Amino acid sequence: MMPMAQDDGLEQMYQEVILEASKHPSGRVAFAPDLTDEAVSAGESTVMAPHEACAAGESHQFNPTCGDEATIHVDVSDAVPHRIERVVWDGHGCSISQASLSIMVDLVEGRTVDEAMDLFRTFHALMESRGAGLAEDAKADELGDAIVFQGVSKYPMRIKCALLGWEGLKDSMARALAQA
C-alpha cells in the first residue's frame, strides 16, 4: 500500500539509526525473568521491591505507564579510576528505549565511571531540551549516535523511554561501587 504522509516530528523521532539499533541492540543478553510468563509471575506474587531481586552492579528499571523494563548489569574495575569493563542488559520495550540502551552500551563500555556520569548528565540535558538540542557543539559531539534522540526530546511522554537505560546505568554503577 501507499505509505501515508508523515509529519516531520515522526521522522525526526524514528531515525534510521534508532530503528536499526532497536532491531539489533548491543549488549542485550537474556538473564532476567520473563514477567509475561504466568508461571514465572505466579512465583513472584509476594510484594518485593524490584531491586531486592538484583545482584550487585545491577539495576532494574521499570516504566509503569507502558510496562517497559530493563535490568542493567555493569562490571566495574576494582582499580582506580573505576572503569566499566562490561555492560549488558535484559528487558523489553519500545524502539526508543531499546535503541537508547543499545547506543548507551556502545558509548560507555570501556569508559571510566566518571566519564560515564558526564555522558549521563549530557544525555539528560539533551532529553530535557524539548527538541532544541545542546548549546555546546562539543557536548553534542561527545554523545556520538545518542544525539539522534534530540527528536524524542520534543515528546514529553517518550523522554522516560530514552532515559530508562541511562537511569539504570547510573544506578548499577553506584551499586557496583558500593560493593567495591
Partner 1 sequence: MADFEAIRRQFPILDQQVHGRPLVYLDSAATAQKPQAVIDAESGFYESINAGVHRGAHELAARSTVAFEDARAAMARFVGASAEEGHEELVVTAGATAGLNLLATAFGYASMGRGPAAARRFALGPGDEIVVSQAEHHSVLLPFQELAARTGATLTWLALDDEGRIRTDTADEVITDRTKVVAMTHVGNVTGAITDLAPVVRRAHEVGAVFVLDACQSVPHLPVDFHALDVDFAAFSAHKMYGPTGAGFLYGRRELLEALPPAWFGGSMVELAWMDKPAQYMDPPARFEAGTQPVAQVVAAGVAAQWLQSIGMDAVAGHEQALTSELLRLGDIPGVRILGPMSATARIGTVAFEVEGVHPHDVGQYIDAQGIAIRVGHHCAQPVHRHFGVYASNRASLGVYNTMDDVHALLDAVAGVRPFFGVGGTRAE
Site string for partner 1, 72-91 (x = CB under 8 A): --------------------
Select from 15-23, 103-111, 137-145, 169-177 the region that touches partner 1 (CB under 8 A): 15-23
Among 33, 43, 50, 67, binds partner 1 (CB under 8 A): 67
Check binding of 1 to partner 1 (CB under 8 A).
yes
Is the CB of residue 64 less than 8 Å from the CB of residue 130? no
From the centroid of its chain, how far is CA 39?
A: 28
Select from 72-80, 94-102, 130-138, 165-173 the region that touches partner 1 (CB under 8 A): 94-102
Among 54, 104, 113, 161, binds partner 1 (CB under 8 A): 161
67: left (phi over 0), alpha (psi -120 to 50) or beta: left
Number of residues that bind partner 1 (CB under 8 A): 29
Q: Say whether the peptide bond before residue 33 is cis (omega within 30 degrees of 0).
A: no
DSSP letter for each residue of 103-156: HHHHHHTTSBHHHHHHHHHHHHHHHTSTT---S-HHHHHHTGGGGGGGGGGG-T
CA-to-CA distance for 33 and 145, rounded, in angstroms? 30
Secondary structure of residue 71 in the 3-state scheme: strand
Check binding of 36 to partner 1 (CB under 8 A).
yes
Check binding of 10 to partner 1 (CB under 8 A).
yes
Q: Which residues contact partner 1 (rule: CB under 8 A)?
A: 1, 3-4, 6-7, 9-10, 13-14, 16, 19, 23, 35-38, 41, 65-68, 92-96, 155, 158, 161
